[in-house]
Amino acid sequence: MTVTASSATTSTREAGNRRPPALGGFSAPVLGIEIRRVLRNRRTLMFILVMPAVFFLLFGLPQRGQNLDNGLPVTGWIMISLAVYAAMVATTSAGAAVATERALGWSRQLRLTPLRPAAYVATKVATAMVLGLLGVLVEFTVGAASGVRMPAHVWVESGLTAWIGSLVFAALGLFVGYLAPAENVMQFMGPALAILAMLGGLFVPLDILPHAMQQIAKFTPVYGVGQLARAPLAGGGVDWAAVGNVAAWTAFFGLGAARLFRRDTTRV
Amino acid sequence: MTDTAPAVELAGLTKTFGTVTAVDGLSLRIEPGEVVAFLGPNGAGKTTTVDMLLGLARPDAGTVRVFGGTPGDAVRLGRIAAVMQTGGLLKDLTVAETVRMTAHFYGHSRPVTEVLERAGIADIADRPVGKCSGGQQQRLRFALALLPDPDLMVLDEPTTGMDVEGRRDFWQAIRADARSGRTVLFATHYLDEADAYADRIVLVRQGRVVADGTTAEIKNLAAGRVVRATLPGADQAVLAALPGVQSVEVRGDAVLVHTEDSDVVARHLLTRTDARDLEITSRNLEDAFLALTTAAA
């Protein structure tokens, strides 16, 4: 019963080799595998890339030829709104993936590796932002191909705002992900995001809603990002209410996620 | 290896869940290079102990030291790795992707192809994890645990739910690996696994260590050995008076002596009597296991 028998050992059992990972385990190859993993999921692709594009073709194109008061096309207004929608669905679902990973016990497995919890979250946020960017780019490509014409600075500024603004939804995704250890969290987040997008004025202009509804809508999390992303097109200076909205919701979701995250990953 | 610290040192470890005491003042010391089975029935506190050893659960009392440091230190440096019972894999990654991703979480790791080979899953590297059998997933967990080339490998009931062939393949991989001098601690409730793969067995019941020794010692502890010889007209009284003898039985020309010290009986039979065809057999581990784990507290 000796298993410790001497046989040629290929193992390097030297303490000198041992070191914690650089950047706590955050690395580009891992990010690459994560992104490939998400892109392999047809349902996710459907929601973040195909659906917003189809929405544009269905609801945006019929408005072709109509202009805003400043002479810029209504289709641009719709395209930017839907780009915000695509980015928010993408970043929320990437953030909410932690729910699935907690349900599957992967987070527990990770605790047996040197990966730092902060590096894990950073990977999730980075994945979310890559997907969010993809969502914006696809929507803008579909828009451009369908004949949307706007000044170059509007494309760039609106695109960047829609993209960077979706960070608030990466935080929302993480918040929900740490709240609900369910594998199918996006099943209820999908409809919830659609309602938020509606209240945020991404699907229809808020002006057509009842007045009371409009007032409430201004305090919902999508409103601010939508307003800011369309500002380069609509013009009219800085909308401080929208800036406040984005700042407040980013702080709320970010702190909430951080709090739940700490509870989840407290080491002994 | 320059360390002189034990691989594992658990002292007075206690953990309660509500009114249930899962681990009750458990102490255990494992030296580097030992292959130890942590054997006990379901609910004996094995998994809770393993969780505390790995830093996944906090003890209510007592201390855990791994190579002289905390479990967290050992995890960060890749000195400890574990194969858990279930869960912990992403179904939508392939086997190779899972290993490649995990490799990047370590400061220093073995090559991906090498651990796939050693875990015996190189042929299914491109298979999605969700399409792997339970045994294949378990070998994938083993491959992940091999990545940091850990000094201590902990396996928690690694073959639960596997068929006979899966269990054999799995242990073959572990056994081939243990030759490198790695310390191995595995929790199991399969006696044959403890018997076949461990140098030392730590028997636990109700959160406490009830026996600790080599496989042979554990077998002896409860059941002793049986010395059988052909000896017509054996003097039962003399045999029964030998030290350590529990009982003497005569069956025709054969005599069977149950004893804690088979050497004394064998020496006596061979030097003082005409006994021939002498046989010494141990009771199997199952007898010891049952005797120790079902005895009243």
Segments of chain B assigned E as strands? 8-17, 20-30, 35-39, 61-66, 80-83, 152-156, 183-188, 200-205, 208-214, 225-230, 245-251, 254-259, 276-282
Domain annotation for chain B: domains and CATH numbers: 8-219 (3.40.50.300), 224-283 (3.30.70.100)
The owner of tokens 């056994």 is B175
Contact B75 A108 (CB under 8 A): no
Q: Choose, out of B54, B65, B76, B85, the residue to mutate when testing the contact with A (most A CBs < 10 Å).
A: B76
**Distance, C-alpha A133 to centroid of its chain:** 9
Which one is predicted more confidently, A234 or B123? Answer: B123
- For residue range B86-144, list pLDDT tens digits in order: 778 999 999 999 999 999 999 889 999 999 998 989 999 999 999 998 889 999 999 99
> How does DSSP classify residue B150?
-
Nearest to B270 by CA among B239, B245, B249: B239
Contacting residues for B42 by C-beta, under 8 A, at least 6 apart: B189
For chain A, what are the domain ranges?
A: 24-265
**Averaged pLDDT for residues B163-182:** 80
Report pLDDT for B3.
Answer: 53
How many other C-beta atoms can be found within 10 angstroms of the C-beta atom of residue B190?
A: 16
Report pLDDT for A207.
Answer: 85
Separation between Cα atoms, residue A8 and residue A6, nearest integer Å:
7
Structure tokens at B282: 């141990």
Half-sphere exposure of B288 (CA within 13 A, CB side): 31
Nearest to B153 by CA among B196, B197, B191, B207: B197
Please list every residue in chain B whose beta carbon sits closer than 8 Å to the beta carbon of residue A37: 90, 92-93, 97
Nearest to A150 by CA among A80, A252, A96, A90: A80
Contact B75 A111 (CB under 8 A): yes
Report pLDDT for A13.
Answer: 52
Confidence of residue A267 (pLDDT cuts 50, 70, 90): very low
Half-sphere exposure of A172 (CA within 13 A, CB side): 25
Confidence of residue B259 (pLDDT cuts 50, 70, 90): confident
Report pLDDT for A16.
Answer: 59
**C-alpha dihedral over B191, B195, B201, B205, to 10 degrees?**
10
Contact A33 B101 (CB under 8 A): yes
Nearest CA in chain A to B73: A114
Contact A21 B72 (CB under 8 A): no
Q: Report yes or no: A263 at the B interface, CB cutoff 8 Å.
A: no
Q: Is residue B95 within 8 Å of B46, Cβ to Cβ?
A: no
- For residue range A60-116, list pLDDT tens digits in order: 888 888 888 888 899 999 999 999 999 999 999 999 999 989 888 898 899 899 999
Minimum distance, in Å, between the CA of residue A205 and any CA atom of chain B: 39
The residues in A 103-122 lying below 8 A from B, measured between CB atoms, are 104-106, 108-115
Question: What pTM value is reported for the model?
Answer: 0.81
ipTM for the assembly: 0.84
- For residue range B191-212, list pLDDT tens digits in order: 888 888 898 999 998 899 988 9
Minimum distance, in Å, between the CA of residue A107 and any CA atom of chain B: 7
Nearest to B286 by CA among B178, B175, B194, B182: B194
Instruction: Quote the crossing angle between the two packed helices B215-223 and B285-294, to the nearest 10°.
Output: 60
Nearest to A172 by CA among A218, A133, A124: A124
- For residue range A211-223, list pLDDT tens digits in order: 998 999 999 999 9
Residue of A9, A17, A18 with shortest CB distance to B181: A9
